[in-house]
Amino acid sequence: MKGSLDISRLKSWFAEKKRDLPWRQIASPYAVWISEVMLQQTQVSVVIPYFLDWMKRFPTPYHLAKASLDEVIKTWEGLGYYSRARHIHEAAKELVERFNGQLPSEEKELRKIKGLGPYTVGAILGFAFHQKKAAVDGNVIRVLSRYFGIEEDISKGATVHQLRQLAEALLPDEEPWIISEALIELGATVCQRKARCDECPLQESCVSFNERSVDRIPYNSKKVKNEFLYRSVAVIACRSSFLVKRGKKGAIMSDLYEFPYFEISKGEFSSKQLEAKIAENYALEVIQKKILMQVSHSFTRYQVQLYPILFSCCELKEIEGLDWFTHVSLKKLAFSSGHRRILQQLSGDRVD
């Protein structure tokens, strides 16, 4: 994996085409850290309002460390992959305890902080501390694989390690962070999964373009197979309160709230069946009030179809693992994306 990059052309392209992003205006170690974690598996357009709100609520690691986990999760609500938020919260406490609330500028120390992987460490060192350190994410892997015609499997750790070494070797001594960020920008806006080669400043010297192999590079042998889930959701109201459950620690939806639901097979949704499940599992007598709009959502490898029904009951009965909250209180809790859309269908009026 050897070669060279037209640094001058890439740098000129980046100066002209780079997007005006809020974290580029701040570029403090803390802002770089937060933005890079938010951007993992999330589109820039989605991240921008979350980043601005986050920095307003938690302008420093000290503010973040003092916040409750519930407040942090609620602020993150809608970004998905909530383990990122939990790791950031824990890391902020560690920064306050060990580093006076400041991110260290040494790679060895950064790697000890919870949730900071090779990419995030590289981004902080490069973009915030202006060290000659590459930040190699999926965008950079795609750009370098295509540019140099690298056909090795990017699902293999050895391939990714070699690509990281290549990226670092390509960085110039003068302003290396600009080229590192330019590679990310090129992958995000031009060298996308469906490449826009006509807009690429490196087209002339790109091996994959010249060999017409862009569509099959990079090669990834691990294709994620989606799994489909179908769930009937019981939205149970008693006067102005609703029954919900909080995701257990370690579960996919850890610390997030959802209405109680039951797994069903495709095409088996039945309001009578759901009513029977409520009686069997919660010993609640309910009255069906309204069939709510179906909701589709996804997380990790799952595609989920939710079938919610609004019921009323006469007793605020204590049920293990579930809690009653008023509609006003529910709005202050962090819900999983699909169940948040169910919540948005409720007016908060009494239904009994």
pLDDT tens per residue, range 139-162: 999 999 999 999 999 999 999 999
Strand partners, 347: none
For the domain that residue 16 is a member of, what is the CATH number? Answer: 1.10.340.30
pLDDT tier, 213 (very low <50, low <70, confident <90, very high otherwise): very high
Distance CA 192, CA 44 (A): 14
**Do 160 and 14 fall within a single domain?**
yes
**Do 23 and 77 fall within a single domain?**
yes
Rounded to 5 degrees, φ, ψ at 141 are -60, -40
Q: Supply the range of the domain harboring residue 265.
A: 227-343
Cβ distance 133 to 122 under 8 Å?
yes
| Residues recognised as catalytic | 36
**Do 195 and 281 fall within a single domain?**
no
Distances (CA, A) of 18 to 14, 33, 108, 167: 5, 20, 31, 20
**Do 159 and 247 fall within a single domain?**
no
**Given this model, what pLDDT does residue 27 score?**
75
Stretch 171-182: mean pLDDT: 94
If one counts the domains in the chain, the total is 2
* Stretch (H or E) spanning 103: none
**Do 238 and 314 fall within a single domain?**
yes
pLDDT tier, 41 (very low <50, low <70, confident <90, very high otherwise): confident
Stretch 15-21: mean pLDDT: 93
For the domain that residue 294 is a member of, what is the CATH number? Answer: 3.90.79.10
Percent of the chain with pLDDT over 70: 98
Residue 120 lies in a domain: yes
Distance CA 352, CA 348 (A): 12
Stretch 242-259: mean pLDDT: 87
Stated pTM of the model: 0.82
Stretch 108-137: mean pLDDT: 91
Distance CA 151, CA 323 (A): 53
**Do 171 and 124 fall within a single domain?**
yes
**Do 43 and 101 fall within a single domain?**
yes
Cβ distance 34 to 134 under 8 Å?
no
Residue 75 lies in a domain: yes
Residue 1 lies in a domain: no
pLDDT tier, 4 (very low <50, low <70, confident <90, very high otherwise): confident
pLDDT tier, 298 (very low <50, low <70, confident <90, very high otherwise): confident
pLDDT tens per residue, range 263-295: 998 878 888 899 999 999 999 989 999 999 999
State yes or no: pLDDT of 205 exceeds 70.
yes
Mean pLDDT, the chain, whole residue set: 91
Q: Which of 31-45, 216-230, 279-293 has the lowest mean pLDDT?
A: 216-230
Stretch 9-32: mean pLDDT: 92
**Do 292 and 158 fall within a single domain?**
no
* CA-wise closest residue to 189 among 319, 14, 338, 38: 14
Higher confidence at residue 225 or residue 108? 108
**Given this model, what pLDDT does residue 251 score?**
74
Residue 279 lies in a domain: yes
**Do 210 and 247 fall within a single domain?**
no
* CA-wise closest residue to 251 among 115, 83, 85: 83
**Do 308 and 212 fall within a single domain?**
no
Distance CA 311, CA 317 (A): 15
**Do 186 and 237 fall within a single domain?**
no
State yes or no: pLDDT of 125 exceeds 90.
yes
Distance CA 190, CA 224 (A): 24
pLDDT tier, 1 (very low <50, low <70, confident <90, very high otherwise): very low
Distance CA 147, CA 179 (A): 15
Q: What is the largest CA-CA distance in the chain?
A: 73
State yes or no: pLDDT of 350 exceeds 70.
no
**Do 87 and 131 fall within a single domain?**
yes
State yes or no: pLDDT of 351 exceeds 60.
no
pLDDT tens per residue, range 77-99: 988 888 899 999 999 999 999 99
Residues 6+ apart with CB under 8 A from 339: 233, 257, 258, 259, 306
Domain-terminating residue out of 192, 216, 240: 216
* CA-wise closest residue to 122 among 187, 188, 181: 181
Residues 6+ apart with CB under 8 A from 157: none
pLDDT tens per residue, range 305-343: 999 999 999 888 899 999 999 989 998 999 998 999 999
